[in-house]
Amino acid sequence: MNILIAGGGIGGLTAALTLHQRGHAVTVLEAVREPRPLGVGINLLPHSVGVLEGLGLLPALRGMAVETSALVFANRHGQPIHRDARGVYGGYSHPQFSVHRGELQMLLWREACARLTVLSGQRVVGVRDGHVALIDTADGPREQAADLIVGADGIHSALRRRLAPDEGAPCWRGVMMWRGTTWAPPFLDGRTMVQAGHSRAKFVVYPISTPRADGLQLINWIADRRVRESAPGLTAPDRADWSRAGRLDDLLPTFGSWRFDWLDVPGLITRAEQMLEWPMVDRDPLPCWRLGPSTLLGDAAHPMVPIGSNGATQAIMDAQALADALDRHAGLDAALAAYEDKRRPLCARIVEMNRQEGLDAILDRVEALAPEGFAQLADVIDPAEVAAEVNAYKAAAGHQVKRA
């Protein structure tokens, strides 16, 4: 098939490489003229790493990422609540990787440019007659026909708007995120991800590079803070303000005293190389992703609040599911229906679980019961109950069965 993919992010590029590998003629149309390694850290769960291994990218990933050993939940005093072993350390067949989003995107971009057609400076603005993409370029508008058009154009997707023209701005419930990176000494075993605090003020932190010669490691951190109470009709800050530089004054009053014996949170914040501010947003799940010979993938299909390391992972899983469905079904309609049946309910479930705070609900319970910390965790919460909750979330989010 002749396939056009709108969007050269992690989802669009993985889909392009996978569909090309299965014998399709693929063109990626990316709006940005000169893609740069934007963003900070993301996590790739083991099932998505398996997909990237299938594209021959495992050695390159190992070279640029940190193999995450565990996700540790802690209270705002730094006391551990639960340790969930991750990737091969948790018995999975593949590693979990903590990686710089922009570097991963650039890896996929280089591979896609080497294997198939990738055009930058091409913004897909609509579709005519079901199968002709309408494209804005610096040289003026143009059109390109395809057998299948895939909208992988992110949370502000133009192709999603065809399915939900009245949707408006993304949903915001009053939480802002500040994302930063800081060169700092490794903490814990140098490969652990930590989620500390509670849903009104939370600090997520993990390394995304191996230590350099001076022993420092690039540490990615995300500080979330509720700045408004959730209310119907609350709108996120203007889109022009997304990704703007954050200010220390926004964070230090809340996180300035979070000095643990294993991590200096205010030290990380004040020494950050960069600090960006984003609203924590998602969109309501759509009842359908397909319209004629077109479908959606990644954040265009199911933008979700970033809890549980699902953003990039689910986009990559979409890519594989779409390629599998096209392999298995002779007709395009049947293939797109099968793709959607496999992915849409699961992703809608994650959107909903993350709206209910996902695993952060555990942190909230501990904060409510022991705001000043605890002598013994078991006095506050049953550790077996926490483990069961973590495993239930993972199962519902599609973590795949461990190696026997």
Ligand X SMILES: Cc1cc2nc3c(=O)[nH]c(=O)nc-3n(C[C@H](O)[C@H](O)[C@H](O)COP(=O)(O)OP(=O)(O)OC[C@H]3O[C@@H](n4cnc5c(N)ncnc54)[C@H](O)[C@@H]3O)c2cc1C
Q: Nearer to ligand X by C-beta: 84 or 299?
A: 299
**How many Å apart are CA 147 and CA 27, to the nearest integer?**
12
Sheet holding 97-100, edge to edge: 41-44, 97-100, 66-67
Asked if residue 255 lies in contact with residue 269, where contact means CB atoms within 8 angstroms, the answer is yes
* SS3 category, 68: coil
Spell out the residues 6+ positions from residue 326 whose beta carbon is closer than 8 angstroms to its own: 1, 19, 22, 24, 148, 332, 335, 339
Q: Nearer to ligand X by C-beta: 224 or 386?
A: 224
What is the four-CA torsion angle of 258, 262, 268, 273, rounded to 10 degrees?
Answer: -160
Q: Nearer to ligand X by C-beta: 204 or 386?
A: 204
Asked if residue 298 lies in contact with residue 51, where contact means CB atoms within 8 angstroms, the answer is no
Distance of closest approach, residue 221 Cβ to ligand X, in angstroms: 11
Would you tell me how many other CB atoms lie within 10 Å of the CB of residue 273? Answer: 10
Distance of closest approach, residue 297 Cβ to ligand X, in angstroms: 7
Distance of closest approach, residue 196 Cβ to ligand X, in angstroms: 18
Category of 167 on φ-ψ map: left (φ > 0), alpha (ψ -120 to 50) or beta: alpha
Alpha carbon 24 to chain centroid, angstroms: 27
Distance of closest approach, residue 309 Cβ to ligand X, in angstroms: 8
Distance of closest approach, residue 344 Cβ to ligand X, in angstroms: 15
Distance of closest approach, residue 198 Cβ to ligand X, in angstroms: 20
Distance of closest approach, residue 241 Cβ to ligand X, in angstroms: 14
Residues forming contacts to ligand X in the complex (CB under 6 A) are: 6-12, 29-32, 38-40, 42, 101, 123-124, 152-154, 158, 179, 298-299, 306, 311-312, 315
Per-residue CA distances from 198 to 74, 75, 364 (Å)? 9, 7, 5
Alpha carbon 118 to chain centroid, angstroms: 23
Q: Nearer to ligand X by C-beta: 17 or 40?
A: 40
Q: Nearer to ligand X by C-beta: 10 or 70?
A: 10
How big is the CA angle at 270 (ends 66 and 188), to the nearest 5 degrees? Answer: 35
Q: Nearer to ligand X by C-beta: 222 or 366?
A: 222
Distance of closest approach, residue 108 Cβ to ligand X, in angstroms: 9
Distance of closest approach, residue 152 Cβ to ligand X, in angstroms: 5
Burial class (CB in 10 A: 0-12, 13-18, 19+), 358: buried
Q: Nearer to ligand X by C-beta: 312 or 332?
A: 312
Q: Nearer to ligand X by C-beta: 84 or 153?
A: 153
Q: Nearer to ligand X by C-beta: 78 or 303?
A: 303
Sheet holding 201-207, edge to edge: 80-85, 70-74, 192-198, 201-207, 217-226, 171-184, 274-282, 244-245
**How many Å apart are CA 178 and CA 236, to the nearest integer?**
15
